Structure 1
């Protein structure tokens, strides 16, 4: 098992202070023979609670967890469990509990060598968890074989990290080795093979219309959702408007519609859109009418643009997680090739804030989800990007409570996993995050993660972070082949 310490709270009392976490063991009466052991039940007591269903932080009545699920969110049930000898986690005054977050565009991609993207599976899962993200949807896997192996390690307990809700590889020309002339039957076969592997949904990118229709049809046959990074219709791409009519469930990045005509790229059109354009309001209304989710991925454009200091302030030393050799490679590259600011992406970054706010104001708040979309070249890493994305939603003028729901309830509903995830309610999987301060007062308080529960097991974020330092990337020249992109064979193929 990876050397991260994951502790289920033993029969005792956990005390969460304002600046530290300590576990204090106390005695407990032994359970009667045949009865559930008291140590199998944990009560989270005190602090404030944002459960994902409303707009407010309320006094926490007591959260009872057992067998990996929330058993009750109720003062009487919590008191009875404590009296019976349950373990207790005390949350300090001013600290706030919220549901474990879901990142629906959680790229594990690295490109440290300038030779294409590969998925980082050694450290990223623990870093996501340490940042309060208990579930990730990769939204297109660069290395599906590595991601499948990671999912198996996470499920078996061999590796500690955020839950992996796999997307499988891209469906479209963004997959290395994709054939743009795959038949509908071949698309169906690949979907079936990925369902057998246990994927949670699918991602289309640079796909032709007939193949997208086949993907949506077969995914829905299996009860799974499809999201898409689509275009304007230019160059044979699919406009999100047309994908919505096909039945797609979620759209990434660009809203689409008549404001993005097929005579030019989506990027060129998007940077000139305004929130008062009739064409923009028409496409938003289509999302509302059809119940299609929108994953804005706003901070990704700032990453390639001017890196707004309000959002990209250095709240963590992210490069410290690189191996010494990888850090040397990255620093040499940065010194030799100063970063080029994309003026187009900077314009999109600014425009998108206005458009997303208008989408929200038109009644689309229940359809917006949180996705970071931060493939890394070595300076910033995806697991930390959740805090940047949340802060940017708030900077756009959206209330903090709504923004937290984007990353919790909305995300779970969009991926069709809301029976188990997204809110703190009895019967759901016991994923929660304890923050040092109220994120409704300042959304940047999501950075102050004091404890994380996943499947009812508690993790110390500080320990996860410390154990991850110096581990991303190649250890030396002999490892370089493992960090260069390779062709992705068709799922279920030879």
Structure 2
């Protein structure tokens, strides 16, 4: 059974913060190709981008360094395109035990982080974790330069019944917990299975610290919180389904939502509630497909299965033998049409990208950002809008819009370069040639080569040690 306090609590004490791992990276000069301007939502010919101090120093108007030899020069081809780093606001590093009981799921950060970064995800909000101390350890290992990975915005434990040891907490206890996790370095919070009182107190205290709250909500049935109630409480972001007035308070949410009529008065009223209160919607359209036999957009363009150990691969039957799910099939279709309707109603600036893809051995969450962008285009959202959703919208939703989300002077130099114009074919975002995070360059193939064959235990004898996280403890200095 999961235990937050026994072994993992020591991680905070074990991690030392030596920044000697960082070497002073030379300034970068990127010339050639085109870059995506999130304001105009168009590709712009790249006359030159200077990167200094990990930020975009100068863009356009032919910025040419006085001495090009002082810069690391990156020359792009005409068919290469620069996109702002992806901001995944619903990233999971979770992996299950490949067929064992649910409580054996773990949050695997070392290799998942490499996969995220290799796919151009430069910021990831780890949206609810089972082992929050490990999440913070991984964040610090990445920030110290000992590990490579996206910039992790930590969420701490779930607030609600999704936390294994959750109980009914008082207002004072919730405030105390929020204060505690903020002091340890959490960047935001997630409620899942929280009742209205929990949501209200969580939002109040998170906002006191200037942090945002995301919510996996319900219909109001059996102690869940409806989106309308959560919005009234001040929640910042709602996940999966808009919910609201469409749902019935005496029924579970998904079966009702799966039949949603986007032309109905209740749906339109719900949409305008979001717009009127400036609440973000994290659609996670592709998430149900992981639990179905649907194949839309779920082709492989890299050998994802090859990232797992042979032992893990041999445990898995062909995905075609996975049982179908009418509930998940219906949810996927409802997400497609409701997200498009939300966009058409004026919600384009409030939609965010979230992968919500725990790893079950067939796919890896880091590749999910490209599947989610593809799903949005399949829903009918224009490619130009999807590129903005994947970057600037997510940054805004996390309260980091002035720091991240676009190729703009003064912002952190987060980007990835792809071959082929994604405005013509969104699946071109999958052709990642180079990634930059805070001015540091990473080569996707080299990152994935480190992952190849390493995810999961090597044999049945190593399963128990796999769940004890020996690699993370070693890297953390324990």
Flag whether TM exceeds 0.5 (same fold). yes
* Residues 113 and 484 in structure 1, CA contact (< 8 A), matched pair in contact too: no
* Structure 1 partner of 2:148: 160
1-structure distance, mates of 2:66, 2:411: 18
* Structure 2 partner of 1:27: none
Residues 75-474 of structure 1 correspond to what in structure 2 (within 5 A)? 75-76=61-62, 78-81=63-66, 83=68, 85-111=70-96, 112-116=98-102, 117-179=105-167, 181-308=168-295, 310-331=296-317, 338-474=321-457
Structure 1 residues 225 and 481, CA gap change in structure 2 (3 angstroms): same
- Residue 102 of structure 1: SS of its match in structure 2? strand
Count of residues paired in the alignment = 446
- Residue 258 of structure 1: SS of its match in structure 2? helix
* Structure 1 unpaired stretches of 5+: 1-6, 11-36, 487-494
* Residues 69 and 456 in structure 1, CA contact (< 8 A), matched pair in contact too: yes
TM-score normalized by structure 1?
Answer: 0.87
Indicate which of 33, 37, 54 corresponds to 1:47: 33
- Residue 91 of structure 2: SS of its match in structure 1? coil
2-structure distance, mates of 1:146, 1:49: 36
- Residue 65 of structure 2: SS of its match in structure 1? helix
* Residues 300 and 373 in structure 1, CA contact (< 8 A), matched pair in contact too: yes
Shift of 1:478: 3.6
* Residues 165 and 199 in structure 1, CA contact (< 8 A), matched pair in contact too: yes
2-structure distance, mates of 1:41, 1:373: 35
2-structure distance, mates of 1:99, 1:281: 32
Shift of 1:268: 1.2
Shift of 1:40: 2.4
Residues 411-455 of structure 1 deviation map (CA, whole Å, 9 limit, x = unaligned): 000000112110111111111111111110100000000000011
2-structure distance, mates of 1:485, 1:399: 45
* Structure 1 partner of 2:12: none
Structure 1 residues 477 and 177, CA gap change in structure 2 (3 angstroms): same
* Residues 293 and 322 in structure 2, CA contact (< 8 A), matched pair in contact too: no
* Structure 1 partner of 2:4: none
Residues 62-81 of structure 1 correspond to what in structure 2 (within 5 A)? 62-76=48-62, 78-81=63-66
Shift of 1:83: 4.6
Shift of 1:304: 1.6
Shift of 1:81: 4.5
2-structure distance, mates of 1:158, 1:484: 22
State the 4+ residue runs in structure 1 displaced beyond 3 angstroms.
80-85, 482-486
Shift of 1:82: 5.1
2-structure distance, mates of 1:87, 1:75: 19
Residues 183-214 of structure 1 deviation map (CA, whole Å, 9 limit, x = unaligned): 11111111111111212210000011111111
Shift of 1:485: 9.8
Shift of 1:482: 4.6
* Residues 373 and 426 in structure 2, CA contact (< 8 A), matched pair in contact too: yes
Residues 385-410 of structure 1 deviation map (CA, whole Å, 9 limit, x = unaligned): 11110001001110001001111000
* Structure 2 unpaired stretches of 5+: 1-20, 470-478
Shift of 1:58: 1.1
2-structure distance, mates of 1:234, 1:485: 37
2-structure distance, mates of 1:83, 1:143: 47
Segment drifting more, 165-174 vs 321-330 = 321-330
1-structure distance, mates of 2:272, 2:127: 25
* Residues 118 and 483 in structure 1, CA contact (< 8 A), matched pair in contact too: no
CA RMSD of aligned residues (A): 2.0
* Structure 2 partner of 1:490: none
